[in-house]
């Protein structure tokens, strides 16, 4: 029996909420956040022109009055986290300036061997990874893992340095859809992303891939998480009374299995906060029964989403057309495929693009996230409202609208991934270990291990890959979860196809770059697993890059591995030894 598994599973220009604040005189605070209950404003669109998009971004942080540290990207016109909009073949030139000041979580977590302690030849040579270091990862794009493009292993931009230039072309065969950019500093990624350092990147042309969305207005909705604004508040009186709150070893609310109670983190939508315990929703307006394309990014550091739209508490059908930036009909099937669902699972880092139809006048609409069972060792991701959806004849038009009569996309020159015979099968597994096995409150070490190698925390200093693959080939990877916590597997530079889920073949003829791996229980007879078909055919996959859990505290805590893809015409590389994970020839 086949199973559909994707449900398991984002001159100062003044934003609308900022006009009154500006009029009062004082300069607005860095990394400004709109008030609770605000209308969901759209991020500013920065579009390529004549085949090029040039952007100047500065990353800032700010210590807010509530004690939290906010992070944000700001462009030259004062826009926070703008949407970067490009087409296949376009050149992106992005100059990133690091303006980070001292923040909590300081210190040096890792030191590359490419420069001596305290030395740093340039931003491409590695050096100390600190709370004030930064870089950029272009999540989901198939661009080379080299400095000035999409390297996260050696590229380190320090505060006060000259702006660092990212320069690369969007591949001609990059699928049209929703991608994103965020920092990827090992040991500090969670801090910066949790603070708000993230933004959407859109490859234009989805209406050419699927004409069901042609002519639709579109919205980009970025859902982020953040530390609780009201951590000591009791739950809302509208919730059932629960036993004592559980707290995990990271100090977050632990999964209680009820769907209620204190969440591990608050959520926001396009920076409008939706705080615990009452979850006052943000506001979305559209015209009565209007059809729109919603492009939703889960840019959370640790929070899983299970999105639904309710009208008068009745779940509505959502027409999924793309997952993780790739149209569902990328496999070359004829017709404009739409998968109609009533809820969509979105792991941290993942994206969904779907058709939604607005309510009639007078009908109450809600966008919610349903509870996600993260396992007995996971955080609490309960039911909660994110936004109200209101029909109004005077609703403002979304800023962007898809072309009515798009030119068709060129056909994919590569055979469909699902039809390729893999050259080998590998097994990897997630696992966790208490630093002090005799102290259940001690910190946890997080691992992702190639079967046969010894579990080891990721260390960027070694440069030794755990896996060596060959460009031009396809492999099957079985990812097991030997921990009691849900994990989200992600790999850079490529997409993959889900073949099996919990040992059962699934009917998923489409691609993704992030997938949930179910947690282990003592009652299980075997470790839960997924089977993935990994695609190393693209020449841009050549190089050294990472795979990891996209819960960023797990990634920062060591749950990351290194893969090197050798050129197709090069010699076969050495293979890792079983005992240590190091290489032998």
Residue 7 has a pLDDT of 43
For the residues 576-583, what does the mean pLDDT come to?
A: 47
pLDDT at 417 over 50: yes
Helix (H, G, I), strand (E, B) or coil at 17: helix
The more confident residue out of 362 and 112 is 362
pLDDT at 149 over 70: yes
pLDDT at 115 over 90: no
Question: What is the distance between the alpha carbons of residues 354 and 357, in angstroms, rounded to a whole number?
Answer: 10
Residue 246 has a pLDDT of 82
Q: Are 137 and 181 in contact (CB under 8 A)?
A: yes
Residue 575 has a pLDDT of 59
Average pLDDT, the chain: 89
Q: Are 227 and 194 in contact (CB under 8 A)?
A: yes
Confidence class of residue 539 from pLDDT cuts 50, 70 and 90? very high
Residue 241 has a pLDDT of 87
CA nearest to 105, candidates 250, 281, 246: 250
Report how far apart, in Å, the C-alpha atoms of 559 and of each of 358, 543, 550, 562 are: 41, 20, 9, 11
For 262-311, write each residue's pLDDT tens digit.
999 999 999 999 999 999 999 999 999 999 999 999 999 999 999 999 99
Confidence class of residue 500 from pLDDT cuts 50, 70 and 90? very high
pLDDT at 114 over 60: no
Residue 200 has a pLDDT of 98
Residue 147 has a pLDDT of 97
Question: What is the distance between the alpha carbons of residues 73 and 18, in angstroms, rounded to a whole number?
Answer: 17
pLDDT at 422 over 50: yes
Query: Residue 33: phi, psi to the nearest 5?
Result: -120, 135
Domain annotation for the chain: domains and CATH numbers: 217-230+244-401 (2.60.40.420)
For 547-557, write each residue's pLDDT tens digit.
999 999 999 99
pLDDT at 454 over 90: yes
Confidence class of residue 20 from pLDDT cuts 50, 70 and 90? very low
Residue 16 has a pLDDT of 35
For the residues 387-394, what does the mean pLDDT come to?
A: 97
Confidence class of residue 326 from pLDDT cuts 50, 70 and 90? very high
Q: Are 112 and 461 in contact (CB under 8 A)?
A: yes
Q: What is the pTM of this model?
A: 0.92
What is the percentage of the chain residues whose pLDDT exceeds 90?
A: 76
The more confident residue out of 166 and 24 is 166
What is the percentage of the chain residues whose pLDDT exceeds 70?
A: 89
């Amino acid at each position: 029996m086949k199973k559909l598994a994707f449900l398991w599973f984002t001159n100062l220009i003044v934003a609308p909420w900022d006009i009154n604040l500006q009029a009062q005189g004082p300069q607005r605070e860095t990394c400004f956040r709109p008030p609770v209950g605000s209308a969901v404003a759209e991020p500013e669109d920065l579009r390529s022109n004549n085949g090029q998009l040039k952007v100047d971004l500065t990353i800032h942080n700010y210590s807010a009055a509530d004690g939290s540290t906010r992070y944000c990207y700001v462009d030259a016109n004062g826009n926070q986290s703008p949407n970067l909009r490009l087409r296949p073949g376009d050149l992106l030139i992005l100059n990133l300036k690091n303006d980070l000041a001292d923040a909590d979580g300081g210190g040096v977590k890792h030191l590359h061997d490419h420069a001596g302690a305290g030395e740093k030849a340039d931003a491409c040579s590695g050096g100390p990874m600190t709370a004030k270091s930064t870089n950029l990862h272009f999540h989901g794009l198939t661009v080379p893992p080299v400095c000035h493009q999409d390297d996260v292993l050696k590229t380190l931009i320090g505060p006060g340095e000259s702006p660092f230039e990212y320069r690369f072309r969007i591949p001609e065969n990059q699928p049209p859809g929703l991608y994103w950019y965020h920092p990827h500093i090992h040991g500090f990624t969670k801090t910066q992303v949790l603070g708000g350092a993230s933004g959407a990147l859109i490859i234009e042309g989805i209406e050419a891939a699927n004409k069901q969305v042609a002519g639709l207005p579109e919205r980009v909705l970025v859902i982020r998480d953040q530390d609780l604004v009201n951590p000591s508040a009791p739950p809302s009186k509208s919730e059932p009374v629960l036993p004592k709150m559980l707290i995990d070893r990271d100090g977050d609310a632990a999964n209680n299995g009820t769907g209620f109670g204190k969440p591990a983190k608050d959520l926001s939508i396009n920076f409008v906060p939706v705080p615990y315990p009452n979850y006052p929703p943000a506001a979305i307006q559209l015209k009565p029964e209007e059809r729109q394309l919603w492009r939703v990014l889960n840019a959370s550091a640790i929070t899983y989403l299970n999105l639904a739209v309710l009208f008068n508490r009745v779940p509505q059908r959502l027409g999924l057309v793309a997952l993780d930036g790739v149209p569902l009909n990328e496999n070359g099937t004829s017709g404009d495929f739409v998968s109609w669902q009533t809820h969509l699972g979105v792991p941290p880092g993942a994206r969904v693009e779907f058709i939604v139809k607005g309510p009639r006048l007078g009908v109450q609409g809600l966008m919610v996230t349903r509870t996600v069972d993260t396992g007995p060792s996971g955080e609490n991701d309960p039911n909660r409202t994110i936004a109200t959806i209101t029909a109004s004849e005077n609703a403002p038009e979304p800023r962007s609208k898809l072309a009515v009569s798009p030119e068709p996309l060129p056909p994919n020159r590569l055979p469909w991934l699902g039809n390729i015979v893999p050259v080998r099968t590998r097994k990897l597994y997630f696992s966790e270990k208490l630093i002090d096995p005799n102290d259940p409150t001690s910190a946890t070490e997080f691992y992702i291990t190639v079967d046969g190698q010894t579990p080891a925390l990721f260390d960027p200093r070694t440069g030794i890959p755990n896996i060596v693959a060959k460009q031009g080939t396809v492999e099957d990877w079985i990812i097991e979860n030997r921990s009691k916590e849900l994990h989200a597997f992600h790999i850079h530079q490529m997409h993959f196809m889900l073949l099996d889920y919990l040992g059962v073949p699934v009917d998923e003829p489409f691609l993704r770059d992030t997938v949930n791996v179910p947690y282990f229980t003592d009652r299980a007879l075997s470790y839960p697993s997924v089977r993935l078909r990994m695609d190393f055919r693209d020449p841009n996959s050549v190089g050294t890059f990472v795979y990891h859990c996209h819960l960023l505290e797990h990634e920062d805590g060591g749950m990351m591995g290194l893969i090197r893809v050798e050129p197709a015409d090069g010699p076969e590389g050495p293979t890792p030894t079983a005992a240590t994970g190091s290489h032998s020839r």
